[in-house]
Amino acid sequence: MKVSQRSHVPPFAVMEILAAANARRAAGQSVVNLCAGEPSTGASDVVRERAIELLTSGDLGYTEAMGAPALRAEIAAHYGRWYGVDVDPSRVAVTTGSSGGFMLAFLAAFDVGDRVALARPGYPAYKNILTALGCEVVELPCGPETRYQPSAAQLEALDVPVDGLVVASPANPTGTMIGAEALAELAAWCAGHGVRLISDEIYHGITYGEPAATAAHHLGTGAVVVNSFSKYWAMTGWRLGWLLLPDDLVTPVDALAGNVALCPPALAQHAGVAAFSEEGYAAAAANVARYADARRLLLDRLPELGWARIAPADGAFYLYADVSASGLDAQTWCARALDEAGVALTPGTDFDGVDGSDWVRLSFASSVEVVGEAVDRIVAWQRTL
């Protein structure tokens, strides 16, 4: 029987490493797992308590395809609270995680054969979803000279124009951000050239200096914002995200959402309203403070690790580092680190198919004690190489 060509996309390697780490744990071996971008705390107490109430007495039937009105209103209000942007709740589409949001946004914005640009290194699912939908991915090589982010100059220099641009700030795996001025420049360039800008903002709130700039200011020029409860609110398995849509995509996304999933998970939606309470914001801010402590430890111990070249970790909870001084390629380095040191990291080849063999990604979305244990193990292990 036929198997579609669109399904021939590479797997997300971090999931394979996660499975290998879990297998070692099941066999009774000690593993420090810093490969997945998953906060170790889980959802806040206020969200969990609301979920318990809903399970015993709540209405968990279908919601509207674009999401429960109460949650859409809270998301819209969040943009006024954090960014001073007035967002109409009708422009908010609640999705099954940011992954479902990307699928809906890409389906609504692009046709088969459209060319969509994105940064390399970057989150592999962008490329793989677009490829599965029949789009042509145009990778923009982004290094330290552009702080690992795409620029309007790179887009202008392309021989063949593109139909879309995906940006992420803070970015996975580099943690770098696009400043407000640079984001406005990209949005203006895209608007002037008929290019759909899609801004991944799922790590907003997790920054270590300046707050992240949002493309919500540019909805009027056709930009789309993607966000999620998974990172800042530590609600990964709840599968809850959202889109902010320009006027021309509201009706298409509404129609697609109703056909693809009927609605996002009702329990997660109704409990997710509590994430916007004062208790919910406070719990998330406490998590960010923990990440900041772990980040500080990593930066302080870089001389011991011998990782001279790293991407600026402005936000998110990743350290993207060049380990080529070890004499090993990234995949071998990660395999041996897991086998010999009991530490799980992700090879850069997951994020960069050209230059990623020199790099690894470490997730510090954990306690400073756990991250410190991982560093101790890596330092001791690297001395044996």
CATH code of residue 161 = 3.40.640.10
Percentage of residues of the chain with pLDDT beyond 70: 100
The stretch 3-14 carries a mean pLDDT of: 83
Min mean pLDDT across 6-10, 53-57, 81-85, 145-149 is at 6-10
What is the pLDDT confidence band of residue 59, given thresholds at 50, 70 and 90? confident
Q: Answer yes or no: are the C-beta atoms of 358 and 344 closer than 8 Å.
A: no
pLDDT at 18: 81
Report the domain count for the chain: 2
Secondary structure letter of residue 272 according to DSSP: H
Per the CB < 8 A criterion, the answer to whether 195 and 164 are in contact is yes
Greater confidence, 17 or 222? 222
Whether residue 123 is found in the same domain as residue 256: yes
* Contact by Cβ (8 Å): 242, 228: yes
Q: For residues 93-129, b (16+ Cβ closer than 10 Å) or e, as one string?
A: bbbbbbbbbbbbbbbbbbeeebbbbbbbbbbbebbbb
Return the beta strands (E) in 177-228 as ranges: 196-200, 224-228
Based on the domain organization, do 207 and 156 belong to the same domain? yes
Residues 231 and 154 in one domain: yes
The average pLDDT across 202-220 equals 97
State the pLDDT at residue 313. 93
Query: What integer pLDDT is reported at residue 12 of this predicted model?
Result: 72
Considering the domain architecture, whether residues 213 and 229 belong to the same structural domain is answered as yes
Looking at residues 70-81, what average pLDDT do you find? 98
Nearest Cα neighbor of 35 from 385, 260, 363, 347 is 363
User: Where is the domain boundary, 277, 299, 314?
Assistant: 277
Confidence of residue 80 (pLDDT cuts 50, 70, 90): very high
| Overall residue count recorded for the chain in this entry | 385
244 contacts: CB under 8 Å, gap ≥ 6: 79, 87, 91, 92, 216, 219, 224, 225, 227
User: pLDDT exceeding 90 applies to what percent of the chain?
Assistant: 90
Same domain membership, residue 155 and residue 247: yes
Taking phi first (over 0 means left), then psi (-120 to 50 degrees means alpha), and beta for anything else, what does residue 306 get?
left
Same structural domain for residues 330 and 261?
no
The answer to whether residue 15 scores a pLDDT higher than 80 is no
Q: Region 44-63: what's the mean pLDDT?
A: 95
Neighbouring C-beta atoms of residue 218, cutoff 10 Å: 22
Same domain, 104 and 198: yes
**What pLDDT does 295 receive?**
97
**Residue 217 contacts residue 179 (beta carbons within 8 Å):** no
Query: Are 35 and 72 found together in one domain?
Result: no
Written as one string, the DSSP assignment of 330-368 is HHHHHHHIIIII-EE-EEGGGT-TTTGGGEEEEE--S-H
Strand partners, 200: 168, 226
Q: pLDDT tens digits, residue range 214-272?
A: 999 999 999 999 999 999 999 999 999 999 999 999 999 999 999 999 999 999 999 99
103 and 170 in a single domain? The answer is yes
Single out the residue in 251, 277, 303 at which a domain terminates. Answer: 277
Residues 200 and 153 in one domain: yes
Domain residues for the domain of 355 are 5-43+280-382
Per-residue pLDDT band for 373 (boundaries 50, 70, 90) equals very high
Query: pLDDT digit string (tens) for 291-348?
Result: 999 999 999 999 999 998 999 999 999 999 999 999 999 999 999 999 999 999 999 9
Pairing outcome for strands 164-168 and 346-347: unpaired
Mean pLDDT within 62-89: 98
Tokens of 300: 């302080």
Q: What pLDDT sits at residue 239? A: 97
CATH number at residue 298: 3.90.1150.10
Of residues 272, 266, 264, 271, the one with CA closest to residue 96: 264
* Alpha-carbon distances, residue 118 vs 63, 71, 136 (angstroms): 33, 30, 11
- Of 246, 277, 308, the one marking the end of a domain is 277
Question: Do 113 and 169 fall into the same domain?
Answer: yes
Confidence of residue 68 (pLDDT cuts 50, 70, 90): very high
Q: How far is CA 36 from CA 29, 265, 365, in A?
A: 19, 23, 9
Q: What is the mean pLDDT of the chain?
A: 95
pLDDT of residue 16: 79
Question: Amino acid letter at 366?
Answer: S
Verify that 299 and 366 share a domain, yes or no. Answer: yes
pLDDT at residue 310, rounded to an integer: 95
Q: Does 47 have pLDDT greater than 90?
A: yes
pLDDT digits (tens, 9 = 90+) for 88-113: 999 999 999 999 999 999 999 999 99
Average confidence (pLDDT) over 68-82:
98
